[in-house]
Amino acid sequence: MSSNPIAAENLAEAIRKVAKRARSEEDLRVGVEHALGATLQALGLSAAPEYEKTTLSGSADAVYGHAVIEYKRPGRIAEKGFPVKLAGQIARYLTDLAHRAGRQTKQVEALERMIGIGLDGEQILFLRYSASGRKRESPLPPLPGAQTSFLDVEEYVGGFQMVGPVDVGRESVELLLLYLRALSRKPLTPEALAADFGPEGDIAPRLVNVFYTALQAHRDHPRVATFFAEWDRIFGIVYGEELGKAERDAPELAALYRMVGDHAGLPLKPLFFAVHTYYALLIKFLAVELASLQSGALVGSFVAPLPAATEKQLRRELTNLENGGTFALLGINNFLEGDFFGWYLDAWDQTSEVSETSEVSMADSIRALARTLADFEPATSTLEPTSTRDLLKKLYQYLVPRKLRHDLGEYYTPDWLAERLLNQVGYEGEPDKRLIDPGCGSGTFPILALRRLRQYGADHLVPPADVLDAALRNIVGFDLNPLSVIAARTNYLLALGDLLRYRRGPVDLPVYMCDSILTPTERADIFGKSYRLHTVVGDFEIPSETVAAGEMGDLSALLEACVRDEYEPDEFMARARRELTASQPMTETALEALYRRFLTLEQEGRNGIWARLIKNAFAPVLVGEFDFVVGNPPWVNWESLSDEYREATSSLWDAYRIFPHKGLKARLGSGKDDLSVLMTYAAVDHYLKREGRLGFIITQTVFQSKGGGKGFRRFQLGDSGDYLRVLHVDDMSRFQPFEGATNRTSVVILQKGAKTKYPVPYTLWKKIKGKKIAIELSLDEVTAKTTRSSLVAQPVDSSDLTSPWIIGRNRVINVLDKVRGSSKYRARAGTCTWANGAYWVELLSKRPDGVWVIRNLNKVGRLKIESIQAPIEPDLVFPLLRGRDVQQWSVNPSTWIIVPQDINTPSKGYPEKSLKVDLPLTYGYFKQLQDVLLGRSGYRKFLAPQGAPFYSIYNVGEYTFAPHKLVWREQASTFTVAVMSSQDGKTIIPDHKLMLVPFENEQEAHFICGMLASTIAQLIVKSYVVSVSTSTHVLEHIAVPQFDTNNPLHTRMAALSQQAHALAKDPKGLQDPSGLLNIEAQVDEAAAELWGITDRELKEIRRSLAELG
C-alpha cells in the first residue's frame, strides 16, 4: 500500500532541490531536516530528532528514536566503495546505541528494531540488522534498482543488511516516511495492545458490557438467536459439555470486565460470547489495517475515519466489514467466512450501563475502539517482526483469565515445541511439499511452516510470487472454533507480509472453519447422490455433482448474491445452469431445494452466514492429500463431548477400531478415550498421502494406558486399511511444556502405509534441575535447559502388539525379557462407593453398650453430602486404607469405612430387610442419605439394574476380607507396595485407589511383596505404566513365580520383606547403614537370582531406573 504518494513525491523533490543548492554536508542536513519536519507535521506525525548525538564511534547527524540518519555531501554516495564505508559507519552508531539496552539478548532485540539511513540528497541507502544473517522483508514493495548486500558485525551473530543505494524518489522517500511514522506511533505488540484494549483499560469493559447487554436484550431476534445457538453448538464440541470448573470462573470473568450487576449470577456462555465478540472485532480491525498496509496508503486506513463517522456511516462501514466487502476490496476473498460475531449489527441501538451512573451506546464504544487503535503502527510486523510474534495468542491471554482458559482446556502450543515437531516430521519449507494442521487453533503450525517456506524461498532465490502461490496452495489450516479461525487468518496475513504484493489476483487464505473429523460424507438414495451438512438451523443437502466439480465456492457466492438481490427460484436456477455443473436431474432438483431453503431462512431473519459456512465445511473434501499433517489436536475426554457429537462420531470410533471392547455400549462404560486419538486416525485417513508423515502433540498416556490407548496402538485404519508406522516419539511428560498444565505431553511421528517396526526410537526429555522453561523460549534455549535420553519402546507383551509399551534402553529391555510374562496371581481394585463422604467416617467414641458414635467425612469427594453424627453398630465398620496411607513397606490406616455388604456374599449388598432388623442404627444412618446414595452414577449404572439395596457398594468380594493382602497405590511416582493384615481384630479395607492381591498365608504375601518391590520389578512397572494408573494389570506383565515353601530363595525373600516392614516402622532404621537400604539391596539380589539376572545386568537395571526418574 503506498504511502501518501503526493507527500512522498513532494518531499523527494524538495530533497533533490536542497542537494542542488548545498555546498556541504551541513547545508544538506539543515535543508533536508527543514523539509522533512514540514512533511511530518503535514502528515500529523510528531518527531523530536536529536542532532549530533554522541556515541562511542562518533556523532550521528540525526537520531529519530530508533532511526539514525547520516548525511553526506551531495554526490558522495556515488563514489566507488563509499556506500560500504558509510554503511559501516552507520552500523557502528547503531551498535553503540544498542549497548544501552542491557544484556546481549536485549541489545540484539534493540538492533532489530533500529534503522540506519544514509543520504546525500541524490541517493539514499537503508541499513537494518538481521540476527539470522538472512534477508529481512520490507514493509513496502522493493525499491526500483535496489541491491541488497550484507555486512558482518564482530560483536553479534548475523549482520547488517544494506538496501541501496538508490536514487532519491517517491518510492525511497515513502519508505523513509514509513520508518519515521513508526517512531511516532505505538508498536503493534501484545503488551501495548493489552494496555489499551485489555480489561484493565476502559475500552474492553465498555464494549463487553454493551455486547453482553445487547445479547441478553435481543435473544429473541432471529439472527442473534441463531448465531448464538450455532456458536453454542460448536462450543460444546470444542470445549466439551462438562463445564463445571469453567462455570465457577464466570464471576471472576465478570469482575475482570467490570460487569454491572451481581457477578455471581452471570452465566458463563453469554458472557464468554460477548468477550469473544469483542476480541473478534478487535482482530478484524487489526486485520483490515494489515491488509491495507500491503496495498495502499501510508496515512489512510479503514479505522482512522471511524471515530468521526456519523452513526449511519459507521454502521454502513461495519456492515461492509462484517460481510467481507472491505477485505474483498483489498483482494482477500474469504477473511470473514463463517463468522458468528457480526450479530451485534442486529442489536445496533443498544446502550448499556458501564457504571452505576452512566450509560454508553454501542456506536460510541466502537468509535472509542477505532480511535485508540488508530494510534498503533500496523507496519510493526515488518519493522519489528519479533515484537509481533504470537501477537494474537498473547493478546488473548491478557483478555481471558488464565484459570478460565485452563478450565476450558485452552493451552497454546509453545513455538519451540511446534518447531521441534516440524523438525522431527522433516518439513523444511520446500515449495512443492504440502502441509496441513487439521486443528490449527490460532495458527501456530501453519505460521511456522510459512516462515520456513519464506526462508527456503529466500535461500533458493524462488520468486516471491511463486512463494506466495506455494503458501496459498500448500500450507492449510482447519479449525472448528470461529474465533480461532479469525485469529489464524490474521496471523496468516501477518506471516505473508510483503508477499501479498505479488498476488496475481484476489486470494483465499487457506484457513477454513470446518470439522476435520466429521467431514461431509456422500449418501445415496433412489434420486441420486448428495452430501448432508448439519447445522443448528437444520441439514443442508448439497448435490454430489457440484462437490465433485469443485464448485463449492461458486455455489456459495451464487446463493449469497441471489438471496441478497431477491431472485426467484427459477431465476436462481437459470444462473445455476449457466455458472455451475448441473448435467444430472438430481443436481437441479437439489440446487433448487437448497435455494428455497435459503430463501426461507432469509424470510425468517436467520440467514447471513450459511452459504459461506457450507463452502468452508467442504474444504476437507476438496483440499486433497498432503505430505505432512501436523498439529496439536484437541485433548477433550470422550465423556466431556456433547451427546450430539458423541453420537455423530460413534461410527468412526468403531470404523477405525479404536474402541478395544465389543460394542459401543461396553466402551461407553469406561469412557477414558480422548478426542485426539480419533483425530489422529481421521487425519491420517483423510489428509495424509501414502508414505506421508503425521506429527501430533498428543497425550503420552496413549502409549502406556489400557482402554483407548489399546485401540490407538493398533496402528491400522480399521481392519483392512493402511498401516501406520511409528517413526519416533518425544516424551516430555517429565516436565510441563504448556503454561500451567500438568498433562503428559508427547510428540508422535507416524508414516502412512507401513507397519510399525519395534523397537521404536523414543526420546525422554527431562528438565535440568533448577532450570525454568518458559513458554516463550526458543527451541535452542529449551534444548540447553533439558537432557534427552535415547531410549526405545515396544509392547510389554510380545504376543499382543496393542499391549502397553515398555520403555528403556534396548539392552535393558532385552534383559527384562527374563522377567516379563504373566503371573498366576490376580490383582483386584479396592472398594468403590461413588460417595466417599457417606461411607468414610471418623470414630468419635465407643459407648459402654458397644455402640460406636461416628461422623461422616462429608467434605471428601465431589458430591455435596450433609454432615451427620450418629450412633452405629460396629459390625460393618472397618479400618480404611487410602492411597496416601501406603508407603513402601508400610501401611497406616487413617480412618474408617462402613461396608454394608452381605456377610456371606460380600459382592452383594446387605439385604435391606435383614439390615433393618440386625443393625437398625446402621440402617437409620443410611436412610438419612438415601437420596444421595440412589443418585450415585455407578449405583444407577451397575447396581440398581440388579435390584441392589440403595446403600450397596462396588468392588467388594471375599478377597476384600482376606486376612492378608498385598497392596499398591494406583497413583504414585514410584511403584509403592506393602503387606497389610488386620487392625484391632478387624480386616483393613483398601479403597479404590489401591490395588490388592488377597492371601491366606502371610509368608506368601511377603514373598510377592519382595519380588514386586525389587528394582527389577520397579523398572518394568516404571517402563510401561503411566504413574497415575498403576492398576491391576501389573501381575499380567511380571512373571512372579508361585510361592513354594520348600524353595529357600522364596522363604528368604519373604523374610526380607518382613524385615523391611519392621524397619519401615522404625524411623531410625532409615539412618542405619545395615538397616532398610541394606535389606532392599538383598531383595534386589534375591530377585535377580530367582529371575536369572547377572550382577552386571542388575547394575544396568538400577541405572535405567534412575534414568527414568
| Maximum mean pLDDT: which of 215-229, 352-366, 1073-1087, 1089-1103 | 1089-1103
**Is the CB of residue 793 less than 8 Å from the CB of residue 759?**
yes
Task: Classify domain 633-808 by CATH number.
Answer: 3.40.50
Over residues 1021-1043, the pLDDT tens digits come to: 888 877 667 788 889 889 999 99
Q: Is the pLDDT of residue 141 over 70?
A: no
Lowest mean pLDDT among 10-14, 314-318, 773-777: 773-777
The burial class, CB within 10 Å (0-12 / 13-18 / 19+), for 413 is buried
The alpha carbons of the chain give a radius of gyration, in whole angstroms, of 35
Burial of 469 (0-12, 13-18, 19+ CB in 10 A): middle
- Tens digits of per-residue pLDDT, 669-678? 344 468 889 9
Residue 567's nearest CA partner among 583, 579, 551 is: 579
Q: Count CB-CB contacts under 10 A for residue 913.
A: 10
CA of residue 385 relative to chain centroid, distance: 23
pLDDT at 910: 96
| Residue 1086 confidence (pLDDT) above 90 | yes
Q: Establish whether the linkage from the previous residue to 900 is cis, with ω within 30° of 0.
A: no
Take residue 500 and report the three cell numbers written for it. Answer: 501479498
Q: Which pLDDT score, from 0 to 100, does residue 1069 have?
A: 53
Alpha carbon separation from 839 to 480, 515, 537, 936 (Å, rounded) = 44, 45, 48, 13
**Least-confidence region, from 53-67, 840-854, 942-956:** 53-67
Please give the Cα distance from 716 to 698 (Å, whole number). Answer: 18
Q: What is the pLDDT of residue 663?
A: 43
- Average pLDDT (721-735) is 94
**881-898 average pLDDT score:** 95
Q: From residue 428, how far is each of 450, 451, 471 by CA, in Å?
A: 10, 10, 13
Q: Which residue has the cell 564505508?
A: 85
Phi-psi region of 223 (alpha: psi -120 to 50; beta: other; left: phi over 0): alpha
Q: Is the pLDDT of residue 153 over 70?
A: no
Q: What per-residue confidence (pLDDT) applies to 1093?
A: 95
Average pLDDT of the chain to the nearest whole number = 86
Q: What is the pLDDT of residues 188-199, one digit of tens each?
A: 778 888 888 988
How high is the pLDDT of residue 671? Answer: 41
Contact (Cβ atoms closer than 8 angstroms) between residue 174 and residue 166: no
- Least Cα distance to 1025 among 609, 641, 706, 646 occurs for 706
C-alpha separations of 533 from 228, 530, 573, 617, 992 in Å: 19, 10, 21, 8, 45
Quick one: which of 639, 642, 622, 628 has its CA closest to 674? 639
Q: What are the angstrom distances between the C-alpha of 448 and each of 359, 415, 418, 423, 489?
A: 44, 8, 8, 11, 14
Q: DSSP 3-state assignment of 1052?
A: helix
**Which residue would you say has higher pLDDT here, 1037 or 475?**
475
Cell numbers 497392596 correspond to what residue?
967
**What pTM does this model have?**
0.82
Q: 1016, 1009, 1014: which is closest to 1058 by C-alpha?
A: 1009
pLDDT of residue 668: 39
599 with 562: CB under 8 angstroms? no
Q: How sure is the predictor about 263, in pLDDT bands with cuts at 50, 70 and 90?
A: low
> How far, in whole angstroms, is CA 678 from its chain's centroid?
16
| Mean pLDDT in residue range 84-96 | 88
Residues 6+ apart with CB under 8 A from 508: 332, 333, 334, 472, 553
Q: What mean pLDDT do residues 141-167 have? A: 70
Q: What is the pLDDT of residue 575?
A: 94
Confidence grade of residue 351 (pLDDT, cut at 50, 70, 90): low
pLDDT category of residue 665 using cuts at 50, 70 and 90: very low
pLDDT value at position 404? 76
pLDDT band at 1098 (very low <50, low <70, confident <90, very high): very high
- Lateral strand order in the sheet of 760-767: 511-513, 475-479, 435-437, 626-631, 688-699, 745-752, 724-731, 760-767, 786-795, 805-808
Confidence label for 133 from pLDDT (cuts 50, 70 and 90): low
Q: Where are the alpha helices (DSSP H) in 549-687?
A: 552-564, 569-579, 585-603, 610-617, 619-622, 643-655, 664-670, 675-687
Residue 898 has pLDDT above 60, yes or no: yes
**Cell 464440541, residue located:** 237
Residue 720 CB-density burial (10 A; 0-12 exposed, 13-18 middle, 19+ buried): exposed
* Model confidence band, residue 57 (pLDDT cutoffs 50, 70, 90): low
Q: What is the arithmetic mean of pLDDT over 321-329?
A: 86
Burial of 527 (0-12, 13-18, 19+ CB in 10 A): exposed
- Long-range residue pairs from 932-938, CB within 8 A, at least 24 positions apart, any chain: 932/835, 932/838, 932/863, 932/865, 933/835, 933/838, 936/833, 936/834, 936/835, 936/863, 937/834, 938/832, 938/834
Which pLDDT value is given to residue 478? 95
pLDDT at residue 262, rounded to an integer: 67
Residue 896 has pLDDT above 90, yes or no: yes
What average pLDDT does range 938-948 have in this prediction? 92
| 372-418 residue pLDDT tens | 988 887 776 655 555 556 677 777 777 777 777 767 777 788 999 99
Spatial strand order in the sheet of 828-829: 828-829, 994-999, 964-969, 977-980
Residue 145 has pLDDT above 60, yes or no: no
Helices (H), 499-568: 544-548, 552-564
pLDDT at 25 over 50: yes
For the stretch 233-255, pLDDT in tens is 888 777 766 666 677 778 888 88
pLDDT class for 1044, splitting at 50, 70, 90?
very high
Over range 725-729, report the average pLDDT.
Answer: 97
- Residue 989: beta bridge partners? 880
Other CB atoms within a 10 A radius of the CB of residue 987 amount to: 17
pLDDT band at 759 (very low <50, low <70, confident <90, very high): very high
